[in-house]
Amino acid sequence: MTEDAGQLRVCEYRRCGAPLPPAVGRGSRARFCQDGKTWGRRNLSCRDAEAVLSDAESLRESDTELDDTAVTALAGQVDRVLEPARGLVETLTTLRHQLEATTAAALAERDAALGEADEHRRRRGLAEAEAAQARETAEEAVQAATTAERERLAAVRERDEERAARRAAVQERQRAEGQLAAVRDELARVAERADAAAGLAGERAAAIATLTAELAAARTALDEQRGHVRDAVLRAEAAEARADAAEARADAAAGRLDTARAQLAAAASAHQAALEDARAEAERRRAGFDQRLAEVQAVHEQTVRSMHETVTNLGAELRACTARADHAERALTRVSAVLRDVPGLELPDDVAKMLK
């Protein structure tokens, strides 16, 4: 048994005073409550609360006022830690504005490129329309040339027919002239026989009558042959006139054919030139558009890479600043908690407002 065995003991924390269980056996004696009782917002045990209260009394006994230099320094440190964050926010805002401006410029360039592409398509459509019109003109010229060729062939056939009719008329006239010569010869022979038989008029009266009848018939036949010859001559002259007209029409058709061929060649040349110009313009505009698109894409990629690097660096700085701010905030929280738990401690108004 020890000398204080059986004595009543209480907790040495002056605001508690709860009885302690009696000491049993050897060893140190408990001076504070061991039942888990806590005090204040920080849930201090009786031992810790007595220590804090003793520290506060020692501060009051030393006749020194609480210096807020540490708190002010801590607040300044917090401000310095938060200052890069504000700069980071401003930098991010500026970066966002730059990104919006770059995006707007890229969109404007894209719209301009699309406008140029639309203009190129419009010009290509006009070129195609001109080419179609040239093709239609060429087709019309080909049709006109074909029609002229058919007319020329028809005129040539008609001229050949007229020439054949003329040759037939000439042959008919030659036959009629031969028959007329034969009739004349026969008439001469009849006249000779009539002269020979003149002396035998009485005896040959019947023969004379017969010869006269034959002569009249020969004259009638001669007149008929002369009529046939005149008709053949008229037909030959008409056929010759028709042949001349057909030849004139053939010459006119040949002239129209040459004109149509010249127009066709000119239209084909104009169409080929327009097509070549349209192709060259299309290639030039396509090359310009591809180059402009490549430049815009390169600038955009460079801007994106630069922004990505800037955002990465700013993110690292932000994480570092956030870590420092968290560390300062934890330190400030610990200091404020300790200061609040000090019993009877009066802080200046500005420090109290800062700790709230």
In a domain, 19, yes or no: no
Hey, which bits of the chain come out as E strands?
9-10, 19-20
In a domain, 345, yes or no: no
Q: Which domain does 271 fall in, by range?
A: 79-339
Hey, which bits of 158-238 come out as E strands?
none
In a domain, 91, yes or no: yes
In a domain, 236, yes or no: yes
Please give the full DSSP string across 120-154, using - where no structure is assigned: HHHHHHHHHHHHHHHHHHHHHHHHHHHHHHHHHHH
In a domain, 212, yes or no: yes
CA angle 55, 59, 62 (to 5 degrees): 135
Per-residue pLDDT of 143-192, as tens digits, reads 888 888 888 888 888 888 888 888 887 888 888 788 878 878 877 887 77
pTM: 0.32
Question: What percent of the chain lies above the pLDDT cut of 90?
Answer: 0
In a domain, 350, yes or no: no
Flag the least confident range among 74-88, 246-260, 313-327.
Answer: 74-88
In a domain, 67, yes or no: no
Burial of 186 (0-12, 13-18, 19+ CB in 10 A): middle
Domain total of the chain: 1
Q: What mean pLDDT comes out for the span 264-276?
A: 82
